[in-house]
Structure 1
Amino acid sequence: MSKEIQQWFTQSVPETLNKLSLDSDNGLSEAEALKRKELFGPNALKAKTKKPVYKVFLSQLKDWLIYILFAAVIITIFMGEYIDSGIIMLVILLNAAIGTYQEVKAGKAIEALLKMSSPKALVKRNGQTKEIDSAELVPGDLIILDAGRIIPADLRLLETVNLQIEESSLTGEAVPVLKNAAATFTDPNLPIADRENMAFMSTVVTAGRGSGIVVETGMNTEVGKIADLLDNDFQMKTPLEKKLSDLGKTLGKIAVGICIVIFGISWFQGRDPAEMFLISVSLAVASIPEGLAAIVAVVLSIGVTAMSKKNAIIRKLPAVETLGSVNIICSDKTGTFTLNKMTVTELYTADGLVLLDLLKKNTVSDSHRKLSEGMILCSDATLENDEATGDPTEIALLILGDQIGLDRTGLIKKNERIAENPFESSRKMMSVLIKSGNEVTVYTKGALDNLLKRVTKVYDKDEIRNITPEDIKNFRHAARKMSDNALRTLALAYKSAEVSTPRDQMEKDLVLIGLVGMIDPAREEVKPAVKLAKQAGIKTVMITGDHKNTALAIAKNLEVADNMDQVLTGPELDELSDEELQQKVGNYRVFARVSPQHKVKIVQAFQANGNVVSMTGDGVNDGPSLQIADIGVAMGITGTDVAKNAADMILTDDNFTTIVVAIEQGRNIFNNIKKSVLFLLTCNLGEVLAMFIPLSLGWPAPLMATQLLWINLLTDSLPAIALGMDAGDSDVMKDKPRKFNDNFFSNGAGIQVFLGGLLIGAITIFAFWYGFYEMGYSPFDKNIPEEVLKNSRTLTFLVLVFAQLFYSFGLRNSKKPFYQFNILGNKFLNSTLLLGIFLQLILLFIPVLRTAFKLHIPDAKGWIVALSLGIIPFIVLEISKIFTLKKN
């Protein structure tokens, strides 16, 4: 093969097969596919160059606060304070290193999520059909297409059966194009919109089915040719991050204003301008929570990565913020409440009803065999080596053939499909024209009532006879009994035909063979999940296309609904106005026989009543309901690519329980972010008060610039990150959903920040005063000895560090006192505490560092005072929780 440019739409199917050296029956071999991948490269648009780590590091230094610190470094060097300049420089570099780590970690998590949610392609290789990542495709691959799939590369179509593709991403035309594989064109400049024998990367199959050969991949596709016009940067900044960024800027302006005031006051008080400049700059850096947005990004990325391991892929990060507010889960029945593994349990023919569990292979009648053979031939599903593709109902029918001892492989090889009348919802039937040797047969499967309108005979004990009213009565009775037992029914009929039988004549004068009853068993884990959701104030609603009896049977079993009054069908919904539906929607727990269009109305009705709604979907037509829902959830196994791209979250196991787990995880992620934010703001407020009030009173500065920067690095950023990595509260699902418009300061949290900051500031000021008092001095005195000032600042330094470290433990749970949860359960926070204490000891006991930070070693009394004062904010916080708990 070569990379020469081809106008594939001008070439016939045989010419295309020949040029690509493709066997249309078996597809490429894996060895050939690997060889072609080396030649053509991966099937992906050229990614933007990843930013090197050193550039990420340098970007952390592009901040006006950092520029001021650099200025402080230069000033201290000119002043001869080389130790101070070195410490400030070290703090700058450490801050940049932490920021780099956060950005790289968040980026890797995002890349992993993007990879997990990338489109898949159904490809035939080595004669077997399987699903692979679209990036693995090469020219010559044989692709199977069905409704809902995103076209994974540019294809020359081989087969089209009512195949319609929406190509608006390329042509701007929203109306789907009907494709024709047999067409060829001579005009080499034919517009893309007119190339009916081609399918293009990133377009969407909206109806029908077909197959095609990959002719162009990656940057050689039509989308690839305009890739330079696309912005492929993945923007992950959420509304939450934007709010926090704005909050940080506002607080920063306030803090800088306070620092200017401090510098002004100090100037008029006659203090050393150089020293006060450094202190003011350091206080500005320490008081501005510039790490808020970065910490939130890390917590979000860690959280969504953990969620992906629990089968919930978050495609859009704002969904994490919304999850905690969900109070209505609207879920499909199939696959989410059930296993999505349809199982045939009953067969009915003119011979009578047979339970499959009791049917032995040696007792299978001709009617049973003929019924199963017809169901297999009238199917688009595949089942090879326990790997299945297609509709779960059709897969169950293939398994039925295996259970009764049919040779499916041999049957399919002996029978060739030469025409078909595809399934349509208006007919509720599908027919195929099958040739086996010289015999031609039509097989039709579908709803019993629709088939009964087209049958004139019945197959009875290897004989064909005229159907009687009694036969019709018996078949209908069997179908009704199966439906009452929550079984889905499917009937099969057939007739002898000619090769030239037109499509409109295929479904006339049929012979009825039989009826199968199948069920999709409920998942055992769903019932406890529904109960947990109810406990969390979340209402579960089942939405299904099944009959109301079938839906109610499953809903009752899972305790979603109690009686028929809680069931509304699609036709009944159509009779209600939007206002009536809005008034009554809260009375229903099951919506049966609904179409995807009904889902939009249901979601809007719930939302109109102030609910936050999660909606699941898997089909092409589910896109609108997934987009309009507060949380759109797509099925990862059975879901179409259209549904996945419209959704906020993808379930990789199609399990309802995963939705509840995701809501629980979402609540904990939000709570973790809230803990980090409240901790930072409380500590920053305490630092500002601890500096502002003494300086306003004319006292010496309680802390040096280097000490302030050390605290900002050690006891602000690290515990905040550790709080964000908390495992979460196991009882979070006992709380009611968070109100959608709640922020971090709702429900008394703002008051807590103010009081906590006030308390930390007060005890720090007290510690500074006490340092003078125990040595017989007052901070108002003139000519204070250097050792007295060192003593006071050492005590102040230790109290502020201990207060913040201990306070972080109390914030692990906003409601429970420490004795009601494992206070040491967060290993990251434990490590932060130990590291903080260890580093404080290093500063004090290593002479060079002790001199650099202008500290001295406290005596036993000093240590007791520092620890006693430092633990006060934690104790006060815990006491307030106990009183709040008693009130409630």
Structure 2
Amino acid sequence: MEPAEHAPTPSTPRPSGPGPRPAPSVAAGTTSTAPDPSTRDAADVARDLGVDLDVGLSRAEAARRLAENGPNDLRETLPVPLWRRVLAQFQDPLVYLLLVAVAISLVAWIVEGAEGLPIDSVVILAIVILNAVLGYVQEQRAESAVAALRDMTAATSTVLRDGELRTVASAELVTGDVLVLAEGDAVGADARLFAATALRVSESSLTGESEAVTKNTRTLPEPAPLGDRLDMVFRGTAVAQGVGRAVVTSTGMGTQMGAIAEMLEATEADPTPLQREISSVSKLLGITVIAIAVVVMVTIALVNQVDELSDAVTVLLLGVSLAVAAVPEGLPAILSVVLAIGVQRLARRNAVVKKLSSVETLGSASVICSDKTGTLTKNEMTIECIVTASGRVDLTGVGYRPDGVALHKGHRLEDSRLAREARIALGGGMLANEAQLLERDGEWQIQGDPTEAAFLVAARKLDRTIEEAAHYERQGSVPFTSERKRMSVLGRRDTDGQLVLISKGAPDVLLSFCTHVVVGEDVVELDDARRERILADVEGLSAQAFRTLAVAYRPADDLEPADGSADLDESAEHDLVYVGVVGIIDPPRDEVALAVREAHRAGIRVVMITGDHPATAARIAADLGIVEPGAEALTGRELDAIDDDELTLVVRRVSIYARVAPEHKLRIVDALQADGLVVAMTGDGVNDAPALKSADIGVAMGITGTEVTKEAGDMILGDDNFATIVAAVRQGRVIFDNIRKFLRYLLSSNMGEVLTVFLGVVLAGVIGLAGASDEHVVLPLLATQILWINLVTDSGPALAMGVDPEIDDVMARRPRALTDRIIDGRMWSGVISIGLVMAVATLVTIDVFLPGGLIDGTDTLDVARTAGFTTLVLAQLFNALNSRSETTTAFHRLFVNRWLWGALALGVVLQVAVVEVPVLQHAFGTASLDLAHWGVCVALASAVLWFDELRKWVWRVRHPEVPA
């Protein structure tokens, strides 16, 4: 049934949906030769297409056209060759840097004599290859998951060919085919209607409007917006009610869906914030590494007067080792593993992420733009209230599941005259109905128009209503049309054989045929005062964004057919008894309001962008807490009236957009991005696809989403649940925190190695290194020891931190701005200060055990250097505990990450082995240490932990208002 449109007056035309598109050019016969078939008579369109509407195309002609023009499919993106997909895994600045490090290490190995294996080069290259394999495998997994979400049954259409009805694959439709449409059919191509009986089509996937559109065959006088082309049906829509026939005018890329796909192809996807950040970090590290290597090598050469080839090779090898040490070579692999684990966690929450970096992008989102129908709402029309002469009844429960109760003023409805009126209203709506409500495997589904199905659901919430309706046998009907705005059925009551005419329609229209009204057990005259009250009730429901339908009836013994068959027409609709009006709405999903509150708590705006009516959009947005009650929606026509500069200002304050076209959605997303915001766009319809691709992250619906939308999205929700998006935001923020954790750890640890060598060379005379050996170049650490430190301390703890649980409440923070860096000034300060403490602790350890210097020791250079080497390793392991938070004490949730403790334990075991196992001693230039040595190493290494605890405490005292 067509509900009354809550427009200012009944004569107000329906606001337009997406604007008219110029007809696609005739390419390979896929479109009609007419510029706009909706403005031409159907017979003329058929003649141009060379088809007899009574016979259809011949099978031979259909086959010829299919061979000439190709299948009725959207153009698919050419698959990327395997070699290009593999090569793409190496296209990253940090990977380039590591490959340069491999080359330099090989040169140094050759200069040194090419003895044994170039271990450092092999290790770095293995890490690069591992990273590429991880990235490739994860992308393959994501593609497989996306493919699993697709409907595996091929769509079919019924066509007239050679005068016979045939079912063919929709991909085989050609221009000129005569489509035969019935309730429940998916429309396989754009087509011009030439026959329609009570035909209503759901176009929400194309226009975003949740209410089915009534179609007719009348030629339009001029081009109209897409949603107002009532004599056309479009690919990707579905028949909600009635029957019709239409001649196919466009197939494949020539359809309206194809036009949106063209727009999608022209929309470029921007790199994610994480990709931009890692690229920036990689470039910065590249410059830093070159600078460090050059400065250290020049300093060593000047301080030690290097003039022999062997000494030069030593300096060069140390410079390369430092360069490798300064680069967190495990970063790409660790980053891929951490993101892949995040992807798997989201997959368990019914979210499929197609690209690893997209996980973090959601965590950076500052705006979530969401479609309404099916995303924020259930896309299940629901009767929420019934207003009769005796008052208002509210029905609980939403959607097609008939669970709920009737309430009056907040209390359960008792058996009263109001209850009787409500039962008559719902019973009448249930009888004057073409829909069906079915239960399959515990799930409730409908066939037919969703608005009509709402009566069936509401009636089941009042058991006696079903019983009363069951006593009627349908005798005839007068169908609904957009001109009449009402329908009627004739029913015979089996208890006494009485005929009753039940009518349902737009309240203002139906009321004009009513002379009486039901009041409890009585039927009283409908005077002017009662009529005004009813209209006021309807206006009140419309103000609450309800779609309204009224129900009336009359005894119809005068319609008793003489020959036993009812011949009913609209002349029977007179002297009706008004019963009441129902308020219908597409209700919000139960969990969305909580998800919106959580998003707001995280500083994320939720913006509704829909093709639905402005009042409906405003009501739903207010119910969900997206906006305050009373906020107004901006329409597509109003958007057309403002330029891009003004739109950039408008998007800062407006959070509801209604009656929008695909190009409007794209403009809104672009304007938000131009304002420096990270935008996530959700949607399910074809009309959402371009905006999804343009957004920083596109979130497609997996159940109701079209294939075009899923292809455009970065993430697909398997449960179409908005709450899953907010859960993904939390996961994204946790992942970003973990990325900062291991970056903080890796950079500060590597800084400790660089500063140890640099200060050890500069201060060699102060700490007793100068003169400790006959060699010209005496270093605090050997090149092999530096590589060992990277092997032991970099990968394990960093990877464990990458899967650290949520330590702080990440949703208590505002989204990070695009101008915020992963490595900001505060992190750099911590990296340098922690690195300096590590270097000082290491050099003090060497000084303690080495003769001479500030503290006179008694051990050999090998023992002192081994002790310093051990202190630096242990300091980095302590630093792993520091790095879990930049502000929270390391002792908060200290033992929640068993992987981290496992990595630390493994690091200690390996360090003991390299110090005490003879084979490793020879390979890495170490010497055994006694318990006193180990005690000093542990004590000095722990200085890193206590220093950072003091630094965090000072920051918390100075910034008590900032959440951790």
CA distance in 2, matches of 1:780, 1:348: 93
Equivalent residue number for residue 346 of structure 2 = 307
Q: Is 1:811 the counterpart of 2:883 in the alignment?
A: yes
Equivalent residue number for residue 566 of structure 2 = none
8 Å CA contact 1:415–1:435 kept in 2: the answer is yes
Equivalent residue number for residue 376 of structure 1 = 434
Q: Which moved more, 1:243-252 or 1:44-53?
A: 44-53
Specify which of 90, 104, 113 is matched with residue 68 of structure 1.
104
Q: Is 1:476 the counterpart of 2:535 in the alignment?
A: yes
**Secondary structure in 2 matching 1:857:** coil
Equivalent residue number for residue 792 of structure 2 = 714
Rg larger for: 2
Equivalent residue number for residue 95 of structure 1 = 127
- Evaluate the alpha carbon distance shift between residue 628 and residue 406 of structure 1 in structure 2; reply closer, same or farther with a 3 A threshold: farther
Task: Tell me the CA shift for residue 281 of structure 1.
Answer: 2.3
Equivalent residue number for residue 797 of structure 1 = 869
Residue-by-residue CA offset, 1:80-130 (whole Å, 9 max, x unaligned): x54xx37446635653564355435543554356447768878479xxxxx
CA distance in 2, matches of 1:205, 1:444: 38
Equivalent residue number for residue 596 of structure 1 = 660
Give aligned pairs, total.
784
**Secondary structure in 1 matching 2:658:** coil
8 Å CA contact 1:252–1:289 kept in 2: the answer is no
Higher relative contact order (CA 8 A, sep 6+): 2
**Amino acid in structure 2 at the alignment position of 1:867:** V
**Secondary structure in 1 matching 2:910:** helix
Residue-by-residue CA offset, 1:794-850 (whole Å, 9 max, x unaligned): 11221221111210211111111123x212222332222122112222323432222
CA distance in 2, matches of 1:687, 1:100: 28
Equivalent residue number for residue 822 of structure 1 = 893
CA distance in 1, matches of 2:453, 2:113: 77
Q: Is 1:246 the counterpart of 2:283 in the alignment?
A: yes
**Secondary structure in 2 matching 1:277:** helix
8 Å CA contact 1:150–1:201 kept in 2: the answer is no
CA RMSD of aligned residues (A): 6.5
CA distance in 2, matches of 1:366, 1:847: 95
- Evaluate the alpha carbon distance shift between residue 309 and residue 792 of structure 1 in structure 2; reply closer, same or farther with a 3 A threshold: same
Task: Tell me the CA shift for residue 258 of structure 1.
Answer: 3.5
Q: Is 1:205 the counterpart of 2:264 in the alignment?
A: no
**Secondary structure in 1 matching 2:893:** coil
CA distance in 1, matches of 2:318, 2:792: 18
**Amino acid in structure 1 at the alignment position of 2:927:** H
Matches within 5 A, 1:568-607: 568-570=632-634, 574=638, 591=656, 594-596=658-660
Residue-by-residue CA offset, 1:477-525 (whole Å, 9 max, x unaligned): 44345557775434579999xxxxxxxx99x999899643345566565
Q: Give percent identity, aligned residues only.
A: 31
Residue-by-residue CA offset, 1:299-323 (whole Å, 9 max, x unaligned): 3343344334334555666655554
8 Å CA contact 1:150–1:204 kept in 2: the answer is no
Equivalent residue number for residue 324 of structure 2 = 285
Equivalent residue number for residue 555 of structure 1 = 622
Equivalent residue number for residue 30 of structure 1 = none
Residue-by-residue CA offset, 1:765-784 (whole Å, 9 max, x unaligned): 3333334x2xx356999xx9
- Evaluate the alpha carbon distance shift between residue 572 and residue 865 of structure 1 in structure 2; reply closer, same or farther with a 3 A threshold: same
Matches within 5 A, 1:677-826: 677-696=743-762, 699=769, 700-746=778-824, 748-771=826-849, 773=850, 776=851, 788-819=860-891, 821-826=892-897
Specify which of 839, 846, 849 is matched with residue 920 of structure 2.
849
CA distance in 2, matches of 1:609, 1:231: 19
8 Å CA contact 1:421–1:430 kept in 2: the answer is yes
- Evaluate the alpha carbon distance shift between residue 89 and residue 484 of structure 1 in structure 2; reply closer, same or farther with a 3 A threshold: closer
CA distance in 2, matches of 1:470, 1:792: 103
**Secondary structure in 1 matching 2:748:** helix
CA distance in 1, matches of 2:378, 2:608: 15
Residue-by-residue CA offset, 1:235-273 (whole Å, 9 max, x unaligned): 988323322332333233324434553674488334633
**Secondary structure in 1 matching 2:860:** helix
**Amino acid in structure 1 at the alignment position of 2:339:** L
CA distance in 1, matches of 2:295, 2:248: 69
Residue-by-residue CA offset, 1:521-541 (whole Å, 9 max, x unaligned): 665655554544444344556
- Evaluate the alpha carbon distance shift between residue 263 and residue 7 of structure 1 in structure 2; reply closer, same or farther with a 3 A threshold: same
Equivalent residue number for residue 139 of structure 2 = 107
- Evaluate the alpha carbon distance shift between residue 701 and residue 408 of structure 1 in structure 2; reply closer, same or farther with a 3 A threshold: farther
Equivalent residue number for residue 5 of structure 2 = none
**Amino acid in structure 1 at the alignment position of 2:326:** S
8 Å CA contact 1:109–1:302 kept in 2: the answer is no
Q: Is 1:399 the counterpart of 2:457 in the alignment?
A: yes
Equivalent residue number for residue 832 of structure 1 = 903
**Amino acid in structure 1 at the alignment position of 2:792:** L
8 Å CA contact 1:319–1:649 kept in 2: the answer is yes
More helix by share: 1
Specify which of 736, 745, 748 is matched with residue 670 of structure 1.
736
**Secondary structure in 2 matching 1:728:** coil
CA distance in 2, matches of 1:549, 1:231: 30
CA distance in 2, matches of 1:101, 1:468: 80
CA distance in 2, matches of 1:412, 1:255: 91
Q: TM-score, normalised to structure 2's length?
A: 0.63
CA distance in 1, matches of 2:292, 2:58: 71
Equivalent residue number for residue 335 of structure 2 = 296
Task: Tell me the CA shift for residue 860 of structure 1.
Answer: 0.7
- Evaluate the alpha carbon distance shift between residue 232 and residue 523 of structure 1 in structure 2; reply closer, same or farther with a 3 A threshold: closer
**Secondary structure in 1 matching 2:257:** strand
8 Å CA contact 2:838–2:872 kept in 1: the answer is yes
**Secondary structure in 1 matching 2:383:** strand
Q: TM-score, normalised to structure 1's length?
A: 0.68
CA distance in 1, matches of 2:939, 2:318: 27
Task: Tell me the CA shift for residue 207 of structure 1.
Answer: 11
Residue-by-residue CA offset, 1:328-361 (whole Å, 9 max, x unaligned): 5565666666555543344568999777646999
- Evaluate the alpha carbon distance shift between residue 458 and residue 260 of structure 1 in structure 2; reply closer, same or farther with a 3 A threshold: farther
8 Å CA contact 2:338–2:803 kept in 1: the answer is yes
CA distance in 2, matches of 1:205, 1:413: 40
Specify which of 599, 602, 614 is matched with residue 536 of structure 1.
602
**Amino acid in structure 1 at the alignment position of 2:660:** P
CA distance in 2, matches of 1:634, 1:7: 28
8 Å CA contact 1:446–1:491 kept in 2: the answer is yes
8 Å CA contact 1:262–1:280 kept in 2: the answer is no
CA distance in 2, matches of 1:642, 1:707: 55
- Evaluate the alpha carbon distance shift between residue 843 and residue 230 of structure 1 in structure 2; reply closer, same or farther with a 3 A threshold: farther
8 Å CA contact 1:53–1:100 kept in 2: the answer is no
